[in-house]
Amino acid sequence: MAATAGHDVTQLNSLIEVTLDSADGYGEASKGARNARFTELFARRAAERQRLVRRLQQEVRSRGGTPEEDGTILAAAHRMFLNLKTMMGDADKAIVEEVERGEDHIKAAFEKVLADQELSPPTRTLVSESYGAVKADHDQMRDIKHDMEAAR
């Protein structure tokens, strides 16, 4: 594996981990939401993130690397916190807040990789295209959270 390909694989694998975390988080959020609108939105978003994971994994393989298959330990703790928080109050509000926090994390991870000047042009293109969807999802969750806060 060439130096650039190895660097790209490392960066892509870091994104795979956070995207797996995001997909798992959305899956848990879908199970915990009480409002059908959120249940459907979160389930759809979990499926979208799984598709993104497969796309990133495919790119890692095309570069001669071994793609990540698991998320991070931190995300498991985050999901446990989410489960506890939903049991203690307004489940949908708590879930939206935690999902939005997760969106901040994945958006920052993509921005960090995009700032990497050593990425090859094809990898940069893939990450940039993926970032567009991640940012739109982030902005939607931010707006939902703010709308819920304003309705209080």
Q: Where are the domains of the chain?
A: 3-151
| DSSP letter assigned to residue 89 | S
Give the pLDDT confidence score for residue 50 in this predicted structure.
97
* Exposed/middle/buried for residue 90 (C-beta within 10 Å: 0-12, 13-18, 19+): middle
Q: Which two tokens stand for residue 124?
A: 């940069």
Please give the chain's pLDDT, 152 residues, in tens.
Answer: 455 889 999 999 999 999 999 998 899 889 888 899 999 999 999 999 999 999 999 999 999 999 998 776 565 555 555 555 555 556 788 888 888 988 999 999 999 999 999 999 999 999 999 999 999 999 999 999 999 888 87
**Cα–Cα distance measured from residue 99 to residue 96, given in angstroms and rounded to the nearest whole number:** 5
Dmax over CA atoms of the chain, in Å, equals: 55
Give the pLDDT confidence score for residue 73 in this predicted structure.
59
Q: What dotted CATH number matches 3-151?
A: 1.20.1260.10
Beta carbons of 19 and 83 less than 8 angstroms apart = no
C-alpha triplet 88, 94, 98: angle, nearest 5°: 130
Q: Which two tokens stand for residue 80?
A: 């446990």
pTM metric for this prediction: 0.88
